[in-house]
Structure formats: C-alpha cells, structure tokens
Amino acid sequence: MGVALLTQVSRRYFRHAIPLAVLSLLLLYLCARSFRVVSGCRSWAQSCNPEGPPPVQVRRQSGPLEAPKWKEPPCEGPQGVLGRVMEPFRASLNPEGDLALSQYLAGWRALVRFLTPLGSIFAFATDEASAKVTALEARVHGPEAAHYSSLAAMAAWERRAGLLERPGIAPRDPARSSGSRTLLLLHRALRWSQLCLHRVAAATPGGPEAGVQCGDAYRTALAPHHPWLVRQAARLAFLAFPGRGRWLGLACPGAGETEARAALARAAATLEAVYNRTQGLLAERGLLGLA
C-alpha cells in the first residue's frame, strides 16, 4: 500500500512538474529573445556584442576627425599691423640662405611705422634707422643695383671694388659709408627691436615693466656701440617708456591680451630668424667689425 501510494504521488508530481518546466523554459527563451532585440546581441554562443558596424567602420562613415583650424588674428594678416612687418622680413630669407636686401629694407620701413607711435624713446632709433634704410635703398635701386640684390652680392662687390672700411675706423662722412657697414648698423638695431618685442610678449604678471625690459635689451644690443652721452639719454628716456598694454594695443588692435601677446611673440620670432641669418652672413665675411 505504501508503494502504491508513493507511485500515485510521483505520477501526480511529474504530471504537474513537466508543464511547469516547459512553461519556465518558454518564458526564459522569450526573455532572452527580447534581450537580444533590445541590445542588438546575436546569440548566446558568443559574448554579447551590439549589432552594427565595428568601431573602424563607424569612424569611416562619420568622416576623419579633424583638429580645429587655427585662425590667424587680423593683426597678422596682410593688412594687419604686425603682418605688414613680418611679411617682407620673411620674404627676405631666400631659399639659397642669403638675405634679399629690397625685402629686408621694406620690412624695416614697416617696423619703423610700428615703433614710431610708441613715443619719443624710439625717435633716436627710428630716425637713425630711416636714414640708413634710405641710404641702402639708393644703392639697391641705383646704377649699381645688380650688385645690391642681396647681402652676399653686396659684400662681394664692395670688397672687390675696395669700398669696405677698415675694421673699427668710421668714415669721415657717414653718408659715404659702404652698404655693408650701413647694413651692420641696421642689424644691431634690429636685434634691439627683436629683444624688446620678445620680452614684452613673454613678460609674466607682476614682472618687470616694459621700460625695464626694453632698457635691458638696449644695454645688450646697442649701448656697447653708443657713446656715453647717448647711453645716458636713452636711460632717461626709458623711464617714460609706454606700458605693456600700450604695446599690445598697437600690435594687435581689438584683440585680447593672450592673443596679442602670442602675435607679438611670433613677430619677435620672425625678427630673430632674420637677425640670425644676417649675423651668420656677416660673420662668414668678416664684416662684424666694420663699425
């Protein structure tokens, strides 16, 4: 009787358990299918990865990633204040490693126009520079223009023609200086301008004022070649030197301080490249002692 009762209970259990198991499996299957549809998974046999193209294909469809393009400030454009200075100076650096004199002088003209509004401190520098630029332009566009196309051509011609001064001996009439000597004097003034622009652009908040920095640049580049009286006059003039804001406002009108400082630094870098090229050419030809 006990065995019969157990058998009867077992039959009832399996009769109800089997439908429940089938129902559970069916629900599990439907849930899994719904999960695959929602998530994009393909099968249980592999790890669940969403359907669709792999990451490389997605990048191809959306196009290559591009960094935002740098926009040149207006002051560095062809009609900008600094652009008019940098463009001819850059053009003076010809691919042969020489210095094109006509472009160099055009750069100086633009640099003088930029420096003049900064005040009387630049009067002695810009007046002297303008006179020397005019003297060299007379040669570049004069009867011997073929010999004054570049620094190398000028130096070779003046050496052959016996026009070079003896080192350390100034001509009695400055107007009759050789083109090489005149260029050397401009070259030194360019170094001062370059150092001054660079230090104003790179100054840190709370650091020395622009007058102090450009005064230091003067003592480095020009003072060793000036008589005592000129050095004293320059020292006093630097006390009334315009502040950094005035520099930045003239260099890049309408720009923010960060943008203006960056533009001024790039202009200083251009002047430095021209200075370094000129320094090397003069040194190779033994012309640094002409004045």
pLDDT tens for residues 2-32?
334 334 434 444 344 444 443 343 333 333 4
**Residue 44: what pLDDT?**
35
Gap between the Cα atoms of 283 and 286, Å rounded:
5
Q: What is the pLDDT at residue 206?
A: 77
Q: Which of 54-63, 107-116, 122-131, 136-145 has the lowest mean pLDDT?
A: 54-63
The reply to whether 289 falls in a domain is no
Q: What is the 3-state secondary structure of 96-123?
A: CCCEEHHHHHHHHHHHHHHHHHHCHHHH
**Looking at the domain assignment, is residue 126 inside a domain?**
yes
Identify the pLDDT of residue 45: 39
Q: Which is nearest to 93 in space by CA: 151, 138, 158? A: 151
Residue 19, in any domain of the structure: no
**pTM of the complete model:** 0.74
* 202 in any annotated domain: yes
Q: Distances from the Cα of 131 to the Cαs of 26, 115, 137, 186, 221, in angstroms?
A: 100, 15, 10, 10, 19
Is 64 inside a domain boundary? no
Containing structural domain, residue 222: 75-284
In this predicted structure, the answer to whether residue 142 has a pLDDT above a threshold of 90 is: yes
Count of domains in the chain? 1
Over residues 61-99, the pLDDT tens digits come to 444 445 445 567 899 998 899 999 999 999 999 999 999
How far is residue 84's CA from residue 263's CA, in Å, rounded to a whole number? 13
Of residues 69 and 172, the one with the higher pLDDT is 172
Measured CA to CA, the distance from residue 148 to residue 157 in angstroms comes to 8
For the chain, give the mean pLDDT: 78
**pLDDT given for residue 147 in this prediction:** 97
Q: What is the pLDDT of residue 123?
A: 65
Please list, residue by residue across 145-184, b when 16 or more beta carbons sit within 10 angstroms of its beta carbon and e when fewer do: eebbbbbbbbbebbeeeebbbeeeeeeeeeeebbbbbbbb
Does residue 212 belong to any structural domain of this protein? yes
Tell me the Cα Rg of the chain.
39
Lowest mean pLDDT across 26-30, 59-63, 187-191, 229-233? 26-30
Check if the beta carbon of residue 105 is closer than 8 Å to that of residue 136: yes
Query: What proportions of the chain, in percent to the nearest 5, are helix, strand and coil?
Result: 70, 0, 30
- In the chain, the largest separation of any two C-alpha atoms, in whole Å, equals 146
Query: Residue 193 sits in a domain of what CATH number?
Result: 1.10.3520.10
* Residue 238 pLDDT: 80
Q: Could you tell me which residues are beta bridge partners of residue 150?
A: 100
Question: Given this model, what pLDDT does residue 121 score?
Answer: 62
Whether the pLDDT of residue 144 is over 80: the answer is yes
pLDDT of 101 strictly over 60: yes
Q: What is the mean pLDDT of residues 218-242?
A: 85
Give the pLDDT confidence score for residue 236 in this predicted structure. 81
Question: Would residue 145 count as lying in a domain?
Answer: yes
Query: What is the reported pLDDT for 212?
Result: 86
**Does residue 12 lie within any of the structural domains?**
no
Provide the 3-class DSSP secondary structure of residue 90. helix
